[in-house]
Amino acid sequence: MAVGVAETRSRASAILPPLFVVMWSSAFIAGVIGVGAAPPLLLTFARFAFAGLLLGGFALAVRAPWPKGRQLAHVVVAGLLVQAVQFGAFYTAMGMRIPAAVLALVQGLNPVVIALVAGRFLGERVTPRQWAGFGLGAAGVGLAVADRLSLSPAGVALSVVGLLGLSLGTVYQKRFASGMDVRTGTAVQFLAAAPLVAVASLLFETPHVSDWAGFSWAVAWLVLVNSIGAFLLLNTMLRNAPASRVSTVFFLTPAVTAVMAWLLVGQLLPALALVGLAVGGAGVLLANRR
């Protein structure tokens, strides 16, 4: 019986990474539709507010334990980095015409940034083979964005800010809040990030919705599939595996995002970018090879 339970858990753990990649990648496509219907920070605020209320209500219904005291503070800090900084920057860059696949490619550097700091702050050992995989993945990302250097400088800078928010927030959460309940902890992160993004929207945007159908569809997808589904998976994986290993799944999101962007919103990538995607995929396979 114990063996059967262990096998079931092992299979479930194996399913989580590819499922997460598909769900996470779809956020970029929903974001393209959403920023075409409303300002990016308004879209981000709606995502956080609805996701926080829904997940918080569910957590209350099942009486999940809420973070308290110092743990609560750590959960909030991680949430501001991973949620407000990452998505506020990424969606604003998307509103500056940075293609979805390019943003996913910049985000694909997340494993490299985490690997640079995980050893110092988390005590995680990164093997030479993993470093080789990280290097190959980073080279793939570089190839894929090489012909995009003429894009908006502000948009590119915001993409880097979003990357740093995700990477530093992931390391911080693994270091100080890894024991949080994924339901209540994720809800707290959304609810903490929502007011900050709302203030930024009022200061830097003129909040309005030009296409309610597109805005509603994008918000619904971002809330249910990405904000709740994908982040529950991410936080579950962070509880059960080293941050450096979990982060390598982000090397796969650019390729999946590129295919989705081509099929669903007609965004194409040149040949060099496709080569970069292939190289990045090889890097993640090498970094994860046991």
Residue type, 165: G
Cα–Cα dist 200/161, whole Å: 15
Q: Is residue 5 part of a domain?
A: no
Residue 92 pLDDT greater than 60, yes or no? yes
| pLDDT tier, 254 (very low <50, low <70, confident <90, very high otherwise) | confident
User: Highest mean pLDDT: which of 109-123, 136-150, 157-171, 240-254?
Assistant: 157-171
Residue 2, in any domain of the structure: no
Write down the pLDDT at residue 210: 95
pLDDT, residue 192, reads 96
Average pLDDT, the chain: 84
- The per-residue pLDDT for range 137-179, each reduced to its tens digit, is 778 777 776 666 666 778 888 998 999 999 999 889 988 888 8
Would residue 14 count as lying in a domain? Answer: no
19 within a domain of the structure (yes/no): no
Which pLDDT value is given to residue 234? Answer: 81
pLDDT of residue 12: 57
Whether the model clears a pTM of 0.85, i.e. scores above it, the answer is no
Instruction: Give yes or no for residue 3 having a pLDDT over 60.
Output: no
Q: What total number of domains does the chain contain?
A: 1
Does 200 map to a domain? yes
96 domain residue, yes or no: yes
Q: How far apart are CA 19 and CA 25, in angstroms?
A: 10
| Torsion (CA) 160, 17, 131, 274 in degrees, nearest 10 | -60
Q: Which domain holds residue 188?
A: 27-288
Tokens of 35: 């920023």
> Is residue 4 over pLDDT 60?
no
Which of these ranges, 113-122, 187-196, 201-210, 259-268, has the smallest mean pLDDT?
113-122
CA distances from 178 to 11, 109, 228, 240 (A): 23, 22, 18, 9
Per cent of the chain over pLDDT 90 is 40
140-179 burial, b for 16+ CB within 10 Å, e for fewer?
Answer: bbebbbeebeebeeebbebbebbbbbbbbbbbbbbbbbbe
Q: How far apart are CA 276 and CA 282, in angstroms?
A: 10
The residue assigned the tokens 């509103």 is: 95
Residue 130 lies in a domain: yes
